[in-house]
């Protein structure tokens, strides 16, 4: 019909609509079977269908013919450049002024109807305005005018044709006659919408339906501000042949619909769907008002936004062809995997699994106007329905569908589809009705084609089924997780899962990853800010120690460990070059440990080695975490370490011992603790030399003090520690054993523990040296924190200035 120019030439992408896109809309009645359970798409489709119907009508060609035409066009592949223009609104035939009422009453939705009516009335008014124009365009009357003018939208790219009134404005190029003509018509149209709708669209059916059932089905398309730009067009273009319309930017146009209460509308939609073959969704009710009784929410969608369409078409093209193009474009859009987007209070709701209630859509407090439906480009096809193919709840559906009301159905569809009150237009589109028009069965609509599905219902189901329940991690789980991460590092969640949570089906590796993420966060914040079951600080510190650890790191550690271990065994190997760590920051150090320590350190700024010591429960771990945050907050490279480091080979032995899985002689375990520090020595030196400050939770002093308290000779205990890096500062958190015991954690052997701790405290005293700073740990946590910060900041500055590293007890 219309010659099409290639859009491509223009530089746009031309899309051909799939021939199948439009199916003949022969079927008028909506058979349940036909209806496919679909989601949003369906709704949209329905709307489109309606629109299409109108268009075809206007063109005067029979539907079939239209279809044919479309095909032809498609095949020709024509690429025409058109700007699209408008879009038809679908006038929905309304009988009388209050079609709704008429229709409703039969259905029993009178109340609803009423509400709607008003709304619609509003809508009408709109239509009367500029918006109306578009509508008018559809009418045959208008055609002539349009044709004459030749709607040429223009070749320029990005011309947007808006269906709505606004569109006109936007389309400057045309602006002329055509537009004007259109407008005038529009007004007319709006009036006649109902009649036109019924008549035109469904000529056959129309007759009866009109009379008998007043439906409402008008829709207007308005242009809404385009808030979204998709690229969908291009995307689609690549993969699918489309019509010649551009979807560059799409804007959404809200289409207003009226409810169709009569069959006709439904049938139409159904037919359309069939035609288009799009089906996936079941139908949805049409604009609906919602009311909800029970826990059902009823929605009425008056309009929804569709993406913006760009069309290029030669001036010589006929209006009819233009309309067809638009129609096809719309159909294609709908069929091409677009889905309905939902916005609640301006916030986009992406989680299809959420329940309406969770989303804030509830019968009582929902302001329907706060809901916006829109068509969105979706890479994926409709995904929804598929999940629950089998609809269970047929019961409700059937009744609804059948009895009912197409209207209801339609409305539902609309909802799903997208209604959307554009901001400009649309807020009020959705209104609440006092009554529930459609009882939506939660059940699905699914498999069958229940006439309509409510998205909501679907969502609810899905949601219920999919949203997993929250299962807070227990301390034991956290420990297992921490242990696994210490072993495997981060970045291997699959392995972590297999390693520590193989039996916990409800913990996916993603969950573990997420938990780790939250643990790291938790460890960084102050205990006061934490919620939920408190996780032992000890574990959190281990989290901090291991955060960001990856396989590479662990590997390095192992290597370093081996090296240092060898070094320990035979001093000869001390000059073993430090292998470059995986990290680029680490440079190869050719110097051997000892020389490096003594001489090279002064050359460049280095990190400080800060050690926190103290009795159990003195607050070391907590303060370590705070100090870490503090230094990191200053932008100072800092890491938190702790001994024993259970990650190493020796560390595992220590772990086994500590967990009573192995019995070791006190001397043996002491040496293991010492070896554990030695295996980390080289890495420690690397870190310090490369500017990283290390905060170490327990160090040689603890080892010596505890072992000595057990009865070992203190000098013997110190021997293996000789040669380790000496801390730049030792912060001793001083607290009396009794006081520490009051903090809990000593369990039943309180007395024993206290006595032992006293011994430990005594040995600590003998180990004091100039690097020590005694901090009164009995003070408020904040005070302690503050004092520590002062001391550490000082030390860090000294080290930055080149304070040389020294060795422990070497001289």
Partner DNA sequence: ATTAGGG
Partner DNA sequence: CCCTAAT
Determine, following the binding rule CB under 7 A, whether residue 517 of this chain makes contact with DNA: yes
Determine, following the binding rule CB under 7 A, whether residue 491 of this chain makes contact with DNA: yes
What is each CA distance from 538 to 61, 119, 627, 697, in whole angstroms? 78, 62, 15, 10
Determine, following the binding rule CB under 7 A, whether residue 294 of this chain makes contact with DNA: no
- Per-position b or e across 67-103, b if 16+ CB within 10 A of its CB: bebbbebbeebbbbbbbbbbbbbbbbbbbeebbbbbb
Determine, following the binding rule CB under 7 A, whether residue 470 of this chain makes contact with DNA: yes
* Locus of tokens 């072993």: 487
Q: What residues are paired with 613 via a beta bridge?
A: 732
Strand 772-776 with 347-349, pairing: unpaired
Q: Using the rule CB under 7 A, which residue among 118, 495, 538, 779 binds DNA?
A: 495
The three-state secondary structure class of 740 is helix
DSSP 137-149: HHSTTHHHHHHHH
Determine, following the binding rule CB under 7 A, whether residue 469 of this chain makes contact with DNA: yes
Instruction: State both tokens at 105.
Output: 């009453």
Distance between CA 591 and CA 572 in Å, rounded? 13
* Locus of tokens 């259970």: 646
Distance between CA 342 and CA 107 in Å, rounded? 28
Kindly state the DSSP code that residue 729 receives in the 8-state scheme.
E
> Where does this chain touch DNA (CB under 7 A) — which range of 49-57, 503-511, 596-604, 734-742?
503-511
Distance between CA 195 and CA 217 in Å, rounded? 10
* Locus of tokens 């609809």: 391
Distance between CA 227 and CA 307 in Å, rounded? 9
Q: What residues are paired with 771 via a beta bridge?
A: none
- Minimum distance from residue 526 beta carbon to DNA (Å): 21
Determine, following the binding rule CB under 7 A, whether residue 467 of this chain makes contact with DNA: yes
Query: Which C-beta is closer to DNA: that of 218 or that of 511?
Result: 511
Determine, following the binding rule CB under 7 A, whether residue 427 of this chain makes contact with DNA: no
**Per-residue contact track with DNA, 163 to 192, x per CB under 7 A?**
------------------------------
Determine, following the binding rule CB under 7 A, whether residue 531 of this chain makes contact with DNA: no
Determine, following the binding rule CB under 7 A, whether residue 41 of this chain makes contact with DNA: no
DSSP 662-679: S---HHHHHHHHHHHHHH
Query: Which C-beta is closer to DNA: that of 501 or that of 706?
Result: 501
644 preceded by a cis bond (ω within 30 of 0): yes
> Where does this chain touch DNA (CB under 7 A) — which range of 278-286, 351-359, 682-690, 755-763?
351-359
Cα-flanking dihedrals φ and ψ of residue 374, to 5°? -150, 165
Q: Report how many residues bind DNA under the rule CB under 7 A.
A: 25
Helices (H), 690-775: 700-709, 714-718, 737-742, 750-767
Determine, following the binding rule CB under 7 A, whether residue 809 of this chain makes contact with DNA: no
> Where does this chain touch DNA (CB under 7 A) — which range of 166-174, 349-357, 392-400, 756-764?
349-357
Q: Using the rule CB under 7 A, which residue among 493, 501, 565, 746 binds DNA?
A: 493
Determine, following the binding rule CB under 7 A, whether residue 490 of this chain makes contact with DNA: yes
> Where does this chain touch DNA (CB under 7 A) — which range of 49-57, 464-472, 648-656, 672-680?
464-472
Determine, following the binding rule CB under 7 A, whether residue 501 of this chain makes contact with DNA: no
- Minimum distance from residue 494 beta carbon to DNA (Å): 3
Within 539-578, the residues that bind DNA by CB under 7 A are 550
> Where does this chain touch DNA (CB under 7 A) — which range of 81-89, 326-334, 467-475, 621-629?
467-475
Q: Using the rule CB under 7 A, which residue among 38, 352, 413, 785 binds DNA?
A: 352
Other C-beta atoms closer than 10 Å to the C-beta of 437 total 38
- Minimum distance from residue 518 beta carbon to DNA (Å): 7
Strand 253-257 with 219-221, pairing: antiparallel
> Where does this chain touch DNA (CB under 7 A) — which range of 287-295, 512-520, 589-597, 659-667?
512-520
Q: Using the rule CB under 7 A, which residue among 468, 572, 583, 587 binds DNA?
A: 468
* Burial class (CB within 10 angstroms; exposed 0-12, middle 13-18, buried 19+) of 178: buried
Query: Which C-beta is closer to DNA: that of 400 or that of 485?
Result: 485
Helices (H), 570-698: 593-599, 620-633, 649-658, 666-689
> Where does this chain touch DNA (CB under 7 A) — which range of 193-201, 242-250, 462-470, 742-750?
462-470
Determine, following the binding rule CB under 7 A, whether residue 492 of this chain makes contact with DNA: yes
Determine, following the binding rule CB under 7 A, whether residue 466 of this chain makes contact with DNA: yes
> Where does this chain touch DNA (CB under 7 A) — which range of 159-167, 252-260, 346-354, 749-757?
346-354
Determine, following the binding rule CB under 7 A, whether residue 518 of this chain makes contact with DNA: yes
Binding interface with DNA (CB under 7 A): 350-353, 466-471, 490-495, 506, 509-511, 513-514, 517-518, 550
């Amino acid at each position: 019909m219309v010659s099409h120019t290639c859009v491509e030439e223009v530089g746009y992408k031309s899309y051909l609509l799939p021939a199948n896109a439009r199916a003949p809309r022969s079927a008028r009645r909506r058979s349940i079977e036909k209806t496919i359970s679909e989601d949003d798409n369906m709704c949209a489709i329905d709307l489109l269908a309606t629109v299409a119907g109108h268009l075809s009508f206007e063109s005067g060609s029979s539907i079939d013919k239209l279809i044919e035409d479309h095909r032809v066009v498609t095949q020709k592949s024509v690429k025409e450049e058109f700007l699209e223009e408008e879009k038809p609104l679908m006038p929905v035939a309304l009988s009388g002024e209050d079609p709704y009422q008429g229709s409703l009453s039969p259905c029993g939705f009178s109340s609803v109807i009423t509400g709607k009516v008003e709304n619609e009335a509003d809508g009408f008014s709109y239509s009367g305005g500029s918006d109306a124009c578009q509508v008018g365009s559809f009418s045959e009357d208008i055609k002539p005018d349009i044709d004459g003018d030749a709607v040429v939208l223009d070749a320029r790219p990005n011309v947007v044709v808006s269906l709505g009134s606004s569109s006109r404005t936007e389309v400057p190029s045309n602006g002329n006659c055509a537009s004007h003509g259109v407008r005038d018509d529009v007004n007319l149209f709006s009036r006649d919408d109902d009649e036109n709708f019924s008549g035109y669209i469904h000529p056959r059916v129309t007759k009866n339906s009109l009379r008998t059932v007043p439906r409402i089905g008008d829709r207007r398309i308005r242009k809404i501000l385009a808030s979204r730009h998709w690229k969908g067009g291009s995307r689609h273009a690549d993969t699918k042949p489309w019509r010649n319309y551009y979807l560059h930017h799409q804007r959404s146009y809200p289409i207003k619909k009226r409810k169709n209460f009569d069959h006709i509308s439904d049938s139409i939609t159904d037919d359309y769907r069939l035609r288009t073959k799009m089906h996936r969704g079941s139908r949805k009710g049409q604009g609906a008002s919602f009311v909800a009784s029970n826990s059902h929410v009823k929605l009425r969608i008056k309009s929804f936004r569709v993406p913006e369409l760009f069309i290029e078409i030669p001036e010589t093209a006929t209006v009819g062809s233009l309309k067809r193009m638009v129609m096809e474009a719309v159909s294609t859009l709908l069929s091409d995997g677009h889905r309905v987007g939902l916005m609640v209070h301006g916030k986009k709701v992406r989680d299809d699994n959420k329940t309406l209630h969770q989303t804030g859509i509830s019968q009582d407090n929902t302001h329907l106007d706060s809901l916006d439906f829109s068509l969105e480009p979706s890479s994926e096809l409709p995904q929804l329905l598929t999940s629950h193919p089998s609809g269970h709840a047929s019961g409700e559906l059937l009744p609804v569908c059948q009895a009912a009301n197409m209207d209801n159905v339609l409305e539902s569809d609309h909802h799903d589809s997208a209604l959307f009150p554009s901001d400009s237009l649309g807020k009020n589109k959705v209104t609440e009705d006092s009554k529930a028009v459609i009882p939506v069965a939660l059940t699905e609509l699914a498999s069958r084609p229940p006439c309509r599905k409510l998205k909501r219902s679907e969502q609810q189901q899905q949601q219920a089924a999919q949203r997993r329940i929250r299962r807070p991690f227990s301390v034991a789980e956290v420990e297992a997780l921490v242990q696994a991460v210490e072993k495997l590092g981060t970045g291997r969640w699959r392995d972590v899962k297999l390693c520590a949570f193989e039996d916990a089906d409800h913990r996916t590796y993603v969950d573990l990853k997420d938990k780790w993420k939250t643990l790291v966060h938790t460890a960084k914040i102050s205990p006061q800010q934490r919620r939920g079951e408190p996780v032992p600080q000890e574990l959190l510190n281990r989290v901090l120690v291991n955060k960001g650890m990856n396989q590479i790191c662990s590997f390095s550690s192992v290597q370093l460990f081996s090296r240092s271990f060898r070094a320990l065994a035979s001093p000869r190997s001390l000059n073993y070059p430090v292998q470059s760590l995986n990290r680029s920051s680490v440079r190869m150090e050719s110097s051997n440990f000892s020389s490096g320590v003594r001489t090279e350190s002064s050359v460049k700024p280095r990190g400080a080695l800060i050690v926190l010591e103290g009795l159990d429960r003195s607050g070391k771990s907590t303060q370590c975490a705070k100090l870490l945050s503090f230094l990191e907050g200053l932008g100072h490279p800092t890491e938190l370490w702790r001994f024993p480091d259970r990650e190493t080979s020796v560390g595992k032995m220590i772990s086994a011992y500590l967990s009573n899985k192995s019995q070791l002689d006190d001397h043996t375990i002491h040496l293991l603790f010492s070896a554990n520090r030695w295996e980390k020595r080289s890495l420690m030196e690397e870190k310090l030399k490369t500017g990283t400050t290390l905060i170490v939770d327990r160090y040689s002093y603890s080892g010596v003090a505890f072992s000595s308290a057990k009865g070992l000779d203190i000098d013997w205990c110190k021997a293996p520690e000789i040669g380790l890096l000496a801390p730049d500062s030792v912060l001793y958190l001083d607290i009396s054993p009794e006081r520490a015991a009051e903090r809990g954690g000593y369990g039943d052997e309180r007395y024993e523990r206290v006595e032992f701790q006293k011994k430990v405290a005594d040995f600590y005293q003998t180990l004091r040296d100039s690097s020590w700073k005694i901090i009164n740990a009995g003070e408020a946590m904040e005070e302690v924190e503050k004092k520590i910060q002062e001391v550490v900041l000082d030390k860090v500055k000294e080290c930055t200035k080149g304070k040389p590293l020294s060795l422990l007890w070497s001289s």
